[in-house]
Amino acid sequence: MIDTVQHAGQDPDRPQPYAELGLKSEEYHRIRDILGRRPTSSELAMYSVMWSEHCSYKSSKVHLRQFGDLPRSEVLLVGIGENAGVVDVGQGYAVTFKIESHNHPSYVEPYQGAATGVGGIVRDILTMGARPIAVMDPLRFGPADAPDTQRVLPGVVAGIGGYGNCLGLPNIGGEVVFDDGYLGNPLVNALCVGVMRHDDIRLARATGRGNLVVLFGARTGGDGIGGVSVLASETFEAGGPAKRPSVQVGDPFTEKVLIECCLEIFAADLVVGIQDLGGAGLSCATTELASAGSGGMHVWLDRVPLRDPSLAPEEILMSESQERMCAVVAPADVDSFLAVCGKWDITATVIGEVTETGRLTIDWHGERIVDVPPRTVAHEGPVYERPYERPLDLDDLRADDPARLPRPSSGEELRALLLRMVGSPNLCDKTWVTEQYDRYVQGNTVLAQPEDAGVLRIDEATGLGVAVATDGNGRFTCLDPYAGAQLALAEACRNVAATGARPLAVTNCLNFGSPEDPAVMWQFAEAVRGLADGCRTLGLPVTGGNVSFYNQTGDTAINPTPIIGVLGVIDDVWRRTPMASIPDAQLVLLGETREEFGGSEWAWAEHHHLGGRPPAVDLDAERALCAVLVAARERGLVTAAHDVSDGGLAQTLVESCLRGEVGASVTLPGDPFVALFAESAGRAVVTVTADRLPDLLGLCAAHGVPASALGVATAAPTFEVVGQFAVPLAELRTAWTATLPALFGGG
Amino acid sequence: MTRIGVVTFPGSLDDRDAQRAVRLAGGEPVALWHGDWDLYGVDAVVLPGGFSYGDYLRCGAIARFAPVMQTVIEAATHGLPVLGICNGFQILCESHLLPGALTRNAHLLFRNRDQRLTVENVDTAWTSAYRPGQQIVVPVKNGEGCYVAAPDVLDRLEGEGRVVFRYADGNPNGSARDIAGITNERGNVVGLMPHPEHAVEDLTGPSTDGLAFFTSVLGALTSA
């Protein structure tokens, strides 16, 4: 029998399954206080999904406020709180970008989990009024040779490709990192970028009494019920029940058609407000639209088109069926709206109207099943000041300095180490992954992986473009969450600047363990503080982001992994800086190398060691380095640039050589092992023709950036460290490319 | 100006790219709609890449029945130049304008790479601007690009010089006899899996080798 508001009054003490829906006892009682009665089963369903950690940010909110408190940025057109932030990139263009996690679904069902992760973030971007123009995927897996990684990685990669390729979105970058901690809890983050004119920005709000609420896109089915509360907001228990029914199933074709349909609707100016249906489905869309608008909405839930007619109203409200959108449309525009949907064969149904009652009311075949103040569901959920405490073992971890680890002591040993390092899973060629993604579609991809950042042209006439990079290092963040978040921010900025683009704005996806663990909460608080302070120093706004908690299996949390995305702008993409060296150019190292091996790839790959301190962060030096990279591009001083990060200078030089199929002959000052493998931040290698070298050195001096000549790029296909060793490029290439095909197969 | 139609099916992805390629080659791109019977007097038609109708059932199997395809099929038999790229090639095979079929890549993975091709037939409407035996580099990106046909059909294609493009330096999908693209008897209909429309600008492509597809057809139409 359907549980109505009337029943709730008549039968006030009926036991309700709030715990099974993920609500704590005190949360349930707060709902009763808000409503002045017990919730109906439909109301309980809505509160349970909307008050889940995933939707309500109840544990993170008190910390995330720091992002909102950053100085107001002139480039920020829409800030935190909407589906995605929007940034002014000039010439009347606005760019929106955001990153989200789909970690747990991708572990349970790798293909669909990853695919619908792409679908969800693309709809967020579309909802802002933008045409989605690219995606990127930062990924983290358990050890490359672990049996479960063999299951998870191919499915995740195929899912990202299967969905993104079918949407016609170039995949322009991302990361693939392996680490023991992600076994049983991979990270599948998805970033999307969209572009629009300033006037085209849309917002998620239901305003104007009498305006109609239209649900359009796919029909609603039983998939993904409780995805946010059951999957995203709980820890996996070893041996627990399979949670596959909570994973959504994607249909990229419907989403592609939905994108074109929405863009046509936007162009004809047929919507007042719009919201996508993602986590928490209709519960989220209706309450958020109403809450952000004039405050009232009425919905006839029985009008929702269903894939499965047996679904109960609670299930319809919680379903996370993909490829659905909800628009608020003026009555005069409804026929035009439905005509555009008809052109694209999109199902569209008027399911409700905007009211001024201040309540969200929902009827099911004439009976009232929901009557709530929408703000209490969408925006005024519980807020927790979770206790946090510095992990007890942190001092021991930091004291375990990698200085004690054995190092190579001869040129011959360095040579062997280099070949092992470039072939190690984290440093090896990722073509096996990226070949499964379309990087060409839309015809505006100027740079894509393995370049430092993806670069997209957004105006063919003027050459205006944007660059995007994502970075994150869980080991650095484990050793020092405050510094780790800043190192990720600095690296992403550096990668954007390496292409010649000017960093403009930041998004983030904060992947952590359980917020109920005070040590994890401390990591989170420190990382957020570090990121906020970092953005303040660099003068960059945070445009939005996503928090993913409960990334742990049993008591073991992942390394804290804030993934930072940075968007940059470049006024002329024809003059971007690529990473491939060209023969006879001078190789110059910018920045300072110190003996820093804490959390380094060398310590991990060679010794399975994690300890000590991460590299020191100097954000002023990072900002100066970025300024040099951008100015050098503008003045045409450099022919190539590549940042120095994981694997140190050795990895940077090898990648630049292999990318351009040119050799290098370098002379290193001091200890060659430290010079090659230390992971000091704030560094990049650039190539410059001999005649421009003095200008480049002058530019560096003016910005206070140390610059040291390393040697030359050579036509001879050999990588040589003078006085130490030489390796033919062919040998390096074999070592670099063999790893992933050997592990994951494919012809 | 010579007008070249580019059909958009629901799920077409490279339609705007094909339009750009036409424009860069000096032609006038005309958007055609799958549900429309009219070709609006265009001088040639491009069926672009993508996943028409989601490629459910079989790649190209539903698109073949679109209203616009009935007109395209009819016009092609009377000599209208038609180029099918990737999904467009699949649609041409499903329409029986070209023989054979495209099946799942032999290694079962989607693959996107810069692919070297040998141009083996320069007598078609779409390849006259190339030199015989010319090597070009054009992106390939597909999950179902493995060309198959009965042995006698393959022999006939080879015998009649209707293999237009062959994969060089490695076959990316397991296609029979390294076949990347073919033509019909008349040489007005060409289908290939690689994407010439993604190789029309130095800025965004691995080369500009793809531009000659479009200058070929414009040249043929202007001189005709």
Answer left, alpha or beta for residue B108, where phi above 0 means left and psi between -120 and 50 means alpha.
left
CB B48 within 8 A of CB B210: no
Distance in Å, alpha carbon of B158 to nearest chain A alpha carbon: 26
Of the candidates A97, A283, A86, the one whose C-alpha atom is nearest the C-alpha of residue A203 is A86
Considering the candidates B59, B86, B93, B146, report the single residue annotated as catalytic: B86
Q: A746 and B108: CB-CB below 8 Å? A: yes
Cβ pairs bridging A and B (under 8 Å): 93
Q: B11 and A256: CB-CB below 8 Å? A: yes
DSSP letter at A747 equals: -
pLDDT digits (tens), chain B, 224 positions:
899 999 999 999 999 999 999 999 999 999 999 999 999 999 999 999 999 999 998 999 999 999 999 999 999 999 999 999 999 999 999 999 999 999 999 999 999 999 999 999 999 999 999 999 999 999 999 999 999 999 999 999 999 999 999 999 999 999 999 999 999 999 999 999 999 999 999 999 999 999 999 999 999 888 76
- Please name the member of B10, B20, B139 whose beta carbon is closest to the beta carbon of A257: B10
- CATH for the B3-223 domain, from 3.40.1050.10, 3.40.50.880, 3.50.50.60, 3.30.70.1430: 3.40.50.880
Give the span between the Cα atoms of A550 and A558, in whole angstroms: 9
Residues 6+ apart with CB under 8 A from A107: A113, A152, A184, A185, A186, A236
Q: B112 and A436: CB-CB below 8 Å? A: yes
Give the span between the Cα atoms of A524 and A552, in whole angstroms: 14
Amino acid identity at A434: T
CB A292 within 8 A of CB A202: no
Of the candidates B174, B185, B184, B189, the one whose C-alpha atom is nearest the C-alpha of residue B140 is B174
Active site residues of A: 54, 102
Q: B203 and A441: CB-CB below 8 Å? A: no
Task: Count helices and strands (H / E) in chain B.
Answer: 5, 11
Considering the candidates B120, B144, B146, B195, report the single residue annotated as catalytic: B195
Give yes or no: B197 in active site.
yes
- Specify the pLDDT at position A250: 86
CB B69 within 8 A of CB B77: no
In the block, tokens 């994969």 appear at: B167
φ, ψ for residue A384, nearest 5 deg: -115, 135
Burial class, B41, CB count within 10 angstroms (exposed 0-12 / middle 13-18 / buried 19+): exposed
- Specify the pLDDT at position A226: 64
pLDDT band at A229 (very low <50, low <70, confident <90, very high): low
Distance in Å, alpha carbon of B195 to nearest chain A alpha carbon: 9
- The strand ranges marked E within B12-123 are 28-33, 44-47, 82-85, 101-103, 111-119
Domain residues of chain A, as ranges? 81-378
Picking from B6, B13, B114, B144 by the largest number of A CB atoms within 10 A of its own CB, the best residue to mutate is: B13
pLDDT exceeds 90 at position A232: no
Q: Which residue of B has its CA nearest to A346?
A: B10
pLDDT exceeds 50 at position A554: yes
User: For residue range A12-50, what is the model confidence (pLDDT) as tens digits?
Assistant: 999 999 998 889 999 999 999 999 999 999 999 999 999
User: For residue range A351-409, what is the model confidence (pLDDT) as tens digits?
Assistant: 999 999 999 999 999 999 999 999 999 999 999 999 999 999 999 999 999 999 999 99
Query: Which residues in chain B are closer than 8 Å to A446, comparing Cβ atoms?
Result: 203-204
CB A372 within 8 A of CB A44: no
Give the span between the Cα atoms of A604 and A405, in whole angstroms: 11
Give the span between the Cα atoms of A161 and A434, in whole angstroms: 9
On average, the pLDDT of chain A sits at: 94
Q: B10 and A437: CB-CB below 8 Å? A: no
CB A485 within 8 A of CB A471: no
- Specify the pLDDT at position A164: 97
- Please name the member of B20, B174, B204 whose beta carbon is closest to the beta carbon of A445: B204
CB A177 within 8 A of CB A426: yes
Q: A446 and B204: CB-CB below 8 Å? A: yes
Is the bond preceding residue A450 a cis peptide, omega within 30 degrees? yes
Give the span between the Cα atoms of A273 and B131, in whole angstroms: 56
Number of other residues whose CB lies within 10 A of the CB of residue A339 = 12
**Cα Rg of chain A (Å, integer):** 26
Picking from A322, A438, A570 by the largest number of B CB atoms within 10 A of its own CB, the best residue to mutate is: A438
Distance in Å, alpha carbon of A464 to nearest chain B alpha carbon: 13
Question: What SS3 class is residue B40?
Answer: coil
- Please name the member of A168, A436, A443 whose beta carbon is closest to the beta carbon of B20: A443
DSSP letter at A268 equals: T
pLDDT exceeds 50 at position A242: no
Rounded to an integer, the average pLDDT of A127-146 is: 97
Distance in Å, alpha carbon of B224 to nearest chain A alpha carbon: 31
- Specify the pLDDT at position A241: 46
Q: Which residue of B has its CA nearest to A255?
A: B11
Distance in Å, alpha carbon of A437 to nearest chain B alpha carbon: 6
Picking from B6, B141, B209 by the largest number of A CB atoms within 10 A of its own CB, the best residue to mutate is: B141
- Please name the member of B51, B113, B195 whose beta carbon is closest to the beta carbon of A435: B113
User: For residue range A255-308, what is the model confidence (pLDDT) as tens digits?
Assistant: 999 999 999 999 999 999 999 998 889 999 999 999 988 779 999 999 999 998
Residues 6+ apart with CB under 8 A from A435: B109, B110, B111, B112, B113
Residues 6+ apart with CB under 8 A from A598: A398, A401, A402, A476, A479, A611, A612, A613, A614, A615
Q: Which residue of B has its CA nearest to A439?
A: B112
- Region of poorest pLDDT, from A29-33, A244-248, A336-340, B166-170: A244-248
Query: Hey, is the C-beta of B17 within 8 angstroms of any chain A C-beta?
Result: yes
- Please name the member of B51, B108, B195 whose beta carbon is closest to the beta carbon of A253: B51
What b/e string do you get for A614-623 counting C-beta neighbours within 10 Å, with b at 16 or more?
bbebbbebbb
Residues 6+ apart with CB under 8 A from B20: A443, A460, B29, B197, B200
Q: B51 and A256: CB-CB below 8 Å? A: yes
Task: Dump the DSSP string for A373-426.
Answer: -HHHHHTS-----------TTHHHHHHS-GGGS----SHHHHHHHHHHHHTSTT
Q: Which residue of A has its CA nearest to B204?
A: A446
pLDDT exceeds 70 at position A598: yes
- Please name the member of B10, B143, B195 whose beta carbon is closest to the beta carbon of A344: B10
Of the candidates A32, A480, A7, A52, the one whose C-alpha atom is nearest the C-alpha of residue A226 is A52
- Please name the member of B11, B195, B203 whose beta carbon is closest to the beta carbon of A573: B203
Give the span between the Cα atoms of A198 and A94, in whole angstroms: 5
- Please name the member of B13, B20, B56 whose beta carbon is closest to the beta carbon of A441: B13
φ, ψ for residue A36, nearest 5 deg: 70, 20
Q: A166 and B53: CB-CB below 8 Å? A: no
CB A664 within 8 A of CB A657: yes
Domain A81-378 has CATH 1.10.390.10: no
Helices marked H in A232-294: 252-267, 281-292
Structure tokens at A98: 């955001």
- Specify the pLDDT at position B198: 98
CB A93 within 8 A of CB A75: no
Domain residues of chain B, as ranges? 3-223
- Specify the pLDDT at position A509: 98
Query: Which residues in chain A are closer than 8 Å to B57, comparing Cβ atoms?
Result: none
pLDDT exceeds 50 at position A572: yes
In the block, tokens 């050793």 appear at: A479
Q: Which residues of A touch B (CB under 8 A)?
A: 158, 161-162, 165-168, 251-254, 256-257, 260, 344-345, 434-446, 457, 460, 573-574, 746-747
Structure tokens at A405: 């680890």
Q: A746 and B11: CB-CB below 8 Å? A: no
CA end-to-end span of chain B, whole Å?
A: 14
Query: Hey, is the C-beta of B203 within 8 angstroms of any chain A C-beta?
Result: yes
Rounded to an integer, the average pLDDT of A177-181 is: 96
Give yes or no: B86 in active site.
yes
φ, ψ for residue B142, nearest 5 deg: -165, 160
Query: Hey, is the C-beta of B104 within 8 angstroms of any chain A C-beta?
Result: no
Query: Which residues in chain A are closer than 8 Å to B110, comparing Cβ atoms?
Result: 158, 161-162, 165, 435-438
Picking from B33, B46, B109, B208 by the largest number of A CB atoms within 10 A of its own CB, the best residue to mutate is: B109
Orientation angle between helical segments A281-292 and A41-50, nearest 10 degrees: 80
What b/e string do you get for A505-514 counting C-beta neighbours within 10 Å, with b at 16 or more?
bbbbbbbbbb
Give the span between the Cα atoms of A106 and A231, in whole angstroms: 10
Picking from B6, B46, B112 by the largest number of A CB atoms within 10 A of its own CB, the best residue to mutate is: B112
Beta bridge partners of A561: A511
User: For residue range A623-641, what is the model confidence (pLDDT) as tens digits?
Assistant: 999 999 999 999 999 999 9
Number of other residues whose CB lies within 10 A of the CB of residue B165 = 27
Structure tokens at B42: 């265009």
Distance in Å, alpha carbon of A280 to nearest chain B alpha carbon: 26
User: Beta A640-643 vs A552-553: how paired, if at all?
Assistant: unpaired
Q: Which residue of A has its CA nearest to B20?
A: A443
What b/e string do you get for A371-402 counting C-beta neighbours within 10 Å, with b at 16 or more?
bbbbbbbbeebeebebebeebeebeebeebeb
Query: Hey, is the C-beta of B209 within 8 angstroms of any chain A C-beta?
Result: no
Rounded to an integer, the average pLDDT of A217-222 is: 92
- Specify the pLDDT at position A243: 47
- Please name the member of A260, A437, A446 whose beta carbon is closest to the beta carbon of B112: A437
Angle (nearest 5°) at CA A704 between A616 and A490: 40
Amino acid identity at A598: G
Beta bridge partners of A726: A720
pLDDT exceeds 70 at position A506: yes
- Specify the pLDDT at position A244: 44
